[in-house]
Amino acid sequence: MPGKYIPSDYLPILIFLMVATAVGLGVLIAGSIFRLKRPYPEKLMPYESGNLPVGEPRYRFSVRFYIIAMLFVVFDVEAVFLYPWAVVFGSIGFYAFVEMMVFIVILVVGYVYAWKKEAFNWD
Amino acid sequence: MSIFETIIQPDTFDVLIKIGIILLKIVIVVAAAMLHVMYATYFERKSIGHMQVRLGPMEVGPHGVLQPIADGVKLFFKEDIIPADADKPVFYIAPVISLVAALSSLSVIPFFKGFVIANINIGLLFILAMSSLGAYGIIISGWASNSKYSFLGGLRSSAQVISYEIAMGLSLVGVMMMAGSLNISDIVNAQAAYPLRVYAIPQMLGFFVFMVAGIAETNRAPFDLPEAESELVAGYFVEYSGIRFAMFYLSEYIGMIVISLIAVVCFLGGWSGPFDIPYVPFAWLLLKVYFFIFFYYWIRATLPRYRYDQLMSLGWKLLIPLALLNIVITGIAKLML
Amino acid sequence: MLAEIFFAYFAVVIVLTSILVIASRNPVHSVLWMLLLFFHIAGLYLMLDAEFLAAIQIIIYAGAILVLFLFVVLLLNLKEEIKGRPFSRIFVIALVLAIGMAVVISSTMKLLPPGPVGQYSMDMIRATKGGNSSIIGRVMYTEFLFPFEIASTILLVAIIGAIVLAKKRLRS
């Protein structure tokens, strides 16, 4: 159920998102009224240096991209743990520092492992 | 009580005025951003022209000052070509996602004391969240175009953007630690109260990581290889033309302005300066932002493009450890003082 | 009243986009509907004054996990996927089961006793400087220290797992 508060601080952001979307769509729609449209099959072909397109455009790509995406998820979660910690660090002090160092050291083990396994190399 | 009565309450009029003020602020900020983008392109062509001992645009108006307007009109009336095999709805929506992701960060940045569209507690996180959305515009435009170049460009560019996002988030942790807040106005005020006035000096390492990651996030030179003209013929937006192309172009420049603004408010003291300039409370902020934008062009004219493997290892092997080191150093320094 | 209107909007859009996620033929479209879905879930978190969670919802779910989904989906051979029928034959049975489930849940929900009211009420969070994020920080780094450190081990396992899986594919 909704709380008794309305997050009024976020109302401007909602309006901003609406205005930004309206600007984007508005420019597209306004443009579509004025501009020319004279398509023919050659014009609508995907660009491939003027040749006829060869093979599938969406091919299977290197597994490296998945490694990067998966490592990104892990390190993004790590960064998210750091944000609230950074905010309260000043008020908790030494105790907070030690526990975050333990956290970072455990993750650095994984980072070094990834490095040694050449997950960051691109060949 | 009818629904009408519950919605129209005595304070409805006040609420409407408030919404009107918010709308006015948004329109001012968005219009100012658009104007800045127009002249950022002109300024880029002029300054890089002079760095290469050319004149840059000279034809439209005196010294070519009307060039951006001519470009805008041209792009607006250009034919909009949609490739035959493209996924149309996704192809349509991709530039809008890019534009909204780039613009929305402006809503939490304080331009001068008391002027911010949304003063929220998690301002910095909001910016990080919106910049993570930028990856979508890139991947789905590359995918929807149904072209090899754009698909590969989109994949490369999104892998680049997500890799540098971590470094960027981690580089801001030092600033959060020093200010003890995620609210951007609080961060600016904390810097004004700080003896050195700016966080760029104690957060040197974080500032460096942030700037490198910021240039990579906006796909600017020397990390502009997702749109490398010579290898990928402009990468993910190769199939986009006319106004849709202009929207990608616009979001790239707005992204550049947003990164400069974050650098200014988080590391260089925001709107505050050595002395107050009367009547123009945002003068210092603008000056600092112009400096950063010039810095972007300067780098573009100076450094050659990175190779893709160099780019990925720079992000993962250098910037992330440096950002973590910065957090540790900041923590120790804060405990000692 | 206004709160209810907002809640209704978010709830309706969440349900609609969830249906679109599973009903779209094209998995890339599903991912995009899911993006919209995550935004509305973040909006719901904001209604509960959990602004930090709302930001995390976008940064982690929309910004990281969904990007990973998108990478995986791009690998699929879409031509074959799109040819398939969007609803299989068990659709009717599934629908009946789902409606039955909805009836059971909605009829028994009121029987559940409300949980105890804790120390961290919305009024308390509103009154704290920094709001939601500083409260979460304070609680997580003092009371819930051990679960927090466990999280780092889980992340470590995730890194190793990701690399082991991908390395197998690289070799073959």
Per-residue pLDDT of B41-63, as tens digits, reads 898 888 989 988 888 888 888 88
Angle between helices B242-267 and B204-217 (to 10 degrees): 180
- Closest among A65, A117, A64, A112 to B317, alpha carbons compared: A112
Number of domains in chain C: 1
CA end-to-end span of chain A, whole Å? 52
pLDDT of residue A1 exceeding 50: no
Considering the domain boundaries, does residue A122 fall inside one?
no
pLDDT of residue C171 exceeding 70: no
pLDDT of residue C103 exceeding 80: yes
- Are residues C156 and A66, on separate chains, in Cβ contact within 8 Å? no
Considering the domain boundaries, does residue C51 fall inside one?
yes
Contacts of B93 in chain A (CB under 8 A): none
Considering the domain boundaries, does residue C4 fall inside one?
yes
Query: At a CB cut-off of 8 Å and minimum separation 6, what does A118 contact?
Result: none
Residue C41 lies in domain: 1-84
Number of domains in chain B: 1
Q: Which of B83, B96, B182 sits opposite A83 (nearest CB)?
A: B182
Number of domains in chain A: 1
Computed over every residue of chain B, the mean pLDDT equals 85
Neighbours of chain A (3+ CB pairs under 8 A): B, C
From residue A90, how far is each of B185, C87, C137 by CA, in Å? Answer: 18, 55, 11
- Are residues B100 and A24, on separate chains, in Cβ contact within 8 Å? yes
Domain containing residue C13: CATH number: 1.20.120.1200
Residue B101 lies in domain: 72-336
- How high is the pLDDT of residue B6? 54
The percent of residues above 90 in pLDDT, for chain B, comes to 23
Nearest CA in chain A to B315: A120
Residue A43 lies in domain: 8-116
- Contact status of A70 with chain C (Cβ, < 8 Å): yes
- How high is the pLDDT of residue B273? 78
The percent of residues above 70 in pLDDT, for chain B, comes to 95
pLDDT of residue B1 exceeding 50: no
Contacts of B130 in chain C (CB under 8 A): 58
pLDDT of residue B2 exceeding 60: no
- Closest among B80, B230, B70 to B149, alpha carbons compared: B230
Considering the domain boundaries, does residue A42 fall inside one?
yes
Domain containing residue A37: CATH number: 1.20.58.1610
pTM listed for this prediction: 0.89
